[in-house]
Structure 1
Amino acid sequence: MEDKRRHVLLVPYPGQGHVNPMMQFARRLVSKGLKATLATSVFIAKSMHLSSSVGQVHLDVISDGYDELGPAAEAPSADTYLARLKAEGSRTLTGLILKHQSTPTPVDCVVYEPFLAWALDVAKEFGLVGAAFFTQPCTVDYIYYSIHHKLLSLEQVSSSSGPVSIPGLPLQLELRDMPSFIGAPASYPAYFLMLLNQFSNADKADFILINTFYKLEAEAVDTMLKVCPVLTIGPTIPSIYLDRRLQNDDEYNIDLFTLDASVSTKWLSDKPPRSVVYVAFGSISDLSEKQMEELAWGLKRSNFYFLWVVRATEQAKLPKIFMEELGDRGCVASWSPQVKVLADQAVGCFLTHSGWNSTIEAVSLGVPMVAMPQWTDQPPNAKLVEDFWKVGIRVRVGEDGIVPREEIERCIREVMVGEKGKEIKKNTEKWRELAIEAVSEGGSSDVNIDKFVAKVIKSRIT
């Protein structure tokens, strides 16, 4: 029987934290009867030896211009990489759409990471539905929207002696709560410009999809709805941990790092319930050797079990004596199946850099957090965790820019066994229930996905 399903092509920015949520969204689309193809970079596909599909999600490739050794080895600067990504990405995305035009399932819609604003231009050249998929929370998206549209100026934020109120957002934000680029735009000029340019052509998008759920950020979503066609479609984590409606959906299944799941899962298997501190700082955080040392001894001083994910390239920063004295109290792994670890009953606390994927995974799985934000959207995420959702606490940074071991110990102990920790645990249970409700049949995110699917189905004349 000829396959005539409507076809969605998903184009994430080539990074772990961007591929995972889009892959999960693709699975939801397949469950609704669409064909979904996720386009990774040539380098990612080659280095991971990816096949033509992951489950029912098809895989294909576009080029970022660095197909052989990857951008980390070949790109001389961020500016050069982003320019090459736009040029080669546009060319090869065009070729990919053309390739599918002569098949029974031509591309009907492009879901693109708004960091890749050029992907929408390509989609519209073909008259396709275009949907921006934001992998940061709605609150942060609206901050960038406000700056791009000059509703909020960098000078206004940086010169303020107190908290800044952004109309439509539920919290007053101090400079330390803003995305890191706002306080120091010159630190990463290429990436800051990329973030602001997310809205350069967003008015042409048919939908703004955001990896959040309505009740988690209701005020921010309502504010963005006044200016953008927003659909909340999250949390985009494997279905087995939420509504259980998708079969065999317990992992993201695309890992850009070498993964030996048995190291962390076996170590957790005999630990008492809620006795372990899980520590992970994502795929690109780069802590100083001094901060790694303070973190190591803070974990040890807390006297709780801990599972610490430290990328292989970062492990040389760990104190030698700390590694020698680990014993069974601690485990250092080079990578881990994070969502599976967070769902383990042994985990009682998540010490996190507050990246959005990590944050929404913890919220959805009911895991209290100690937030230690580093850059980009992590500071406002930590602010939401501590002061709005009240599901964790944020570390205090010393004048030297380092979080000392005593502070790390204090925060862990407060969340694990302190009085404030009791309230935090109650709040995590509430938000977990609301996350499950959002993706369950008839929930806000499920209804929004249906709206998106209906638009895609209507886009092609039968």
Structure 2
Amino acid sequence: MTQKPHVAIFPSPGMGHLIPLTELAKKFALNYDLSSTFIVPSIGPPPEAQKKVLGSLPEGINYISLPPVSFDDLPGIRAETQISLTITRSLSSVRDVLKSLAASTRLVALVLDLFGTDVIDIASELSVPSYIASLSTGCGISVHGRDLPDPIQDRKDDAYKWFLHHSKRHSLAEGILLNSFVDLEPETIKALQDQELGNLPPIYPVGPIIYSGSSIGASGHECLQWMDDQPNGSVLYISFGSGGTLSFEQLNELAMGLEISEQKFLWVVRSPDKSASASYFSATSNTDPYSFLPKGFLDRTKGQGLVVPSWAPQIQVLSHGSTGGFLTHCGWNSTLESIVHGVPLIAWPLYAEQKTNAVLLSAGLKVALRPEVDGNGLVGREEIAKVVKGLMQGEEGAAIRRRMKGLKEAAAKAVSEEGSSTKSLHELVSKWKN
């Protein structure tokens, strides 16, 4: 009996990288009878969120955790640099796992994300074709320098050098999977597929790939019971993703802005930090976030809003009838989740490629309002109240809602049986199986 085709999947550290790749693996298993093994690098003990996701994978999808990497010799380095170094410091372990998979399975491909390009060399040694899963937008709109990812803005920073290093290695892959779909970025995807942008391997738009699991602990979550009692489309959901944190001053301005907007809100709050990506690797709040809110805020907004610490079952919230808007950090996973559920946005980017996504959403697709930052680098309470009211009640908000409804329909069509993304994935898997 011939062995089932097997795919090795290498996510770089961070929940935002792991989740879309686990969803891709589920598609491989359920629709194409492909088995897969995750090779998971780590910086320390795995966060609870990661344990839950890996522990709930269906049959045919396995995972191997690599020995943790230490950064005691490099305190205080940027998250982006830490991700790349975690991978280079894990390469000998990766080689051992890939060798063993190549010997024990019918290994047809290695799928890795943008930070994992150094693993391509090991796969080549073993004659296994590598594919890069680009977990963000193709982004073909004009972007001002200030809206490029932070590491690209400082050429002296190691993160900039790593960015260039990985970008130059894209051409070594056999193909690039894009977590986007043709109707979302038609011109960009056409240009990428027509090779107008130079030396790129074939592009496969296979999105939107979003989290499909029932969030563990979601069904009885207090916020969903609270949402059940709110009017249809009345609640603004606020979350800065699994890794985003605000400064103390910004947290206060956001609280006061929400209060004076008089709009209903559900706010996933984390304790503040000077670094916007402070909870990137842990995906939880470091201390009790309630103690940092303005004095009396929770009492004054009791009927108006609900504040929950660290985490909410986002998919269930976005698909709830009471949700009328989403104030988001513009991480690509959250962006696609809001498109799939047709929820209009307030774009509030923090780090990584989020500012570029915010430009695409506000200026390109026109499905988001973007608050202006003042001279001190803060979004002030009056600006917050104005934008929140504008989205939830204004004419502009209504127009955004209509455009987002169109994208929701296009997203559903892309992943339907005859849809463009389904065909694209089918083409790729057929290549592997043959």
Smaller-chain TM-score bracket: 0.7 to 0.9
Deviates more, 1:107-116 or 1:86-95: 86-95
CA distance in 1, matches of 2:39, 2:218: 22
Distance 1:9 1:289, change over 3 A: same
CA deviation after TM superposition for structure 1 residue 176, in Å:
3.4
Task: Specify which of 237, 246, 250 is matched with residue 210 of structure 2.
Answer: 237
How high is the TM-score relative to the length of structure 2? 0.86
Tell me whether 196-205 or 106-115 shows the greater mean CA deviation.
196-205
Q: Contact conserved, 2:109 with 2:432, CA < 8 A, in 1?
A: yes
**Residue in 1 that maps onto 2:147:** 177
| Partner AA of 2:253 in structure 1 | E
In the alignment, which residue of structure 2 is the partner of 1:8?
A: 7
Query: 2:234 — aligned with what?
Result: 275
Does 2:389 correspond to 1:416? Answer: no
Equivalent position SS for 2:121: helix
- The superposition leaves residues 36-56 of structure 1 with CA deviations (integer Å, 9 ceiling, x where unpaired) of 222323546585556766123
Aligned-pair CA distance for 1:100: 2.4
1:296 maps to 2:255: yes
Q: CA deviation at 1:180?
A: 3.2
Query: Which residue matches 1:133?
Result: 133
1:58 aligned partner? 61
Distance 1:344 1:100 in 2: 42
Contact conserved, 2:136 with 2:332, CA < 8 A, in 1?
Answer: yes
Q: Does 1:24 align with 2:23?
A: yes
Residue in structure 1 matched with residue 182 of structure 2 by the alignment: 214
* 3-state secondary structure, aligned to 2:296: helix
Unaligned runs of 5+ in 1: 140-168, 239-248
RMSD, matched Cα: 2.5
Match of 1:264 in 2: 223
Would the aligned equivalents of 2:112 and 2:131 in 1 still touch at CA under 8 Å? yes
Label 1:102 to 1:117 Cα distance change in 2 as closer, same or farther (>3 A): closer
Give distance in 1, aligned partners of 2:327 and 2:47: 33
Unaligned runs of 5+ residues in structure 2 are 271-284
The one-character-per-residue Cα deviations of 1:298-339 (angstroms, maximum 9, x if unpaired) are 111111221111233261432232234341322222201212
Distance 1:340 1:46, change over 3 A: closer
Kindly tell me: are residues 418 and 57 of structure 1, through their superposed partners in 2, closer, same or farther at Cα, counting changes over 3 Å?
farther
More deviation, 283-292/87-96: 87-96
Match of 1:99 in 2: 100
Decide whether aligned partners of structure 1 residues 364 and 195 sit closer, same or farther in structure 2, where only a CA change above 3 A counts.
farther
- Report the AA paired with residue 264 of structure 1: C
The answer to whether the 8 A contact 2:37-2:64 is kept is no
Q: Which amino acid counterpart does residue 358 of structure 1 have in structure 2?
A: S
Structure 2 partner of 1:318:
293
1:331 partner letter: L
Check if 1:190 corresponds to 2:166: no
Specify the code of the residue in structure 1 equivalent to 2:203. Answer: V
> Identity of paired residues, percent?
29
Q: Which moved more, 1:263-272 or 1:442-451?
A: 263-272
Per-residue Cα deviation, 1:242-295 (whole angstroms, up to 9, x for no partner): xxxxxxx44477xxxx98961322221221111101001112223111100000
Matched, 1:382 2:358: yes
Q: Per-residue deviation at 1:214?
A: 1.2
How much has 1:86 moved relative to structure 2? 3.0
Q: 1:98 to 1:393 in 2, by over 3 A?
A: same
Distance 2:389 2:406 in 1: 22
SS at 1:37's partner residue?
A: strand
Distance of aligned partners of 1:75 and 1:282 in 2 relative to their CA distance in 1, 3 Å threshold: farther
Q: Give the number of the structure whose residues are more often helix, by fraction.
A: 1
Q: Report if the CA contact (8 A) 1:129-1:206 is conserved.
A: yes
SS in 2 for 1:117: helix
* Residues in 1 aligned to 2:128 and 2:381: alpha-carbon distance in whole angstroms: 53
Is the Cα–Cα contact under 8 Å of residues 414 and 420 in structure 2 kept in the other structure? Answer: yes
Q: Is 1:202 aligned to 2:178, yes or no?
A: no
Query: How far did 1:358 drift?
Result: 1.2
Q: What is the deviation of 1:27? A: 1.0
Match 2:302 to one of 327, 333, 341: 327
- How far did 1:185 drift? 4.5
Kept in 2, the 8 Å contact 1:24–1:252? The answer is no
TM-score with structure 1 setting the length: 0.81
Q: Does 1:357 align with 2:311?
A: no
Q: Which amino acid aligns with 1:281?
A: F
- Which one is further off, 42-51 or 446-455? 42-51
Kept in 1, the 8 Å contact 2:45–2:68? The answer is: no
C-alpha distance in structure 1 between counterparts of 2:394 and 2:417, whole Å: 37
Match of 2:418 in 1: 442
Partner amino acid, structure 1, of 2:37: T
The reply on whether 1:286 has 2:285 as its aligned counterpart is no
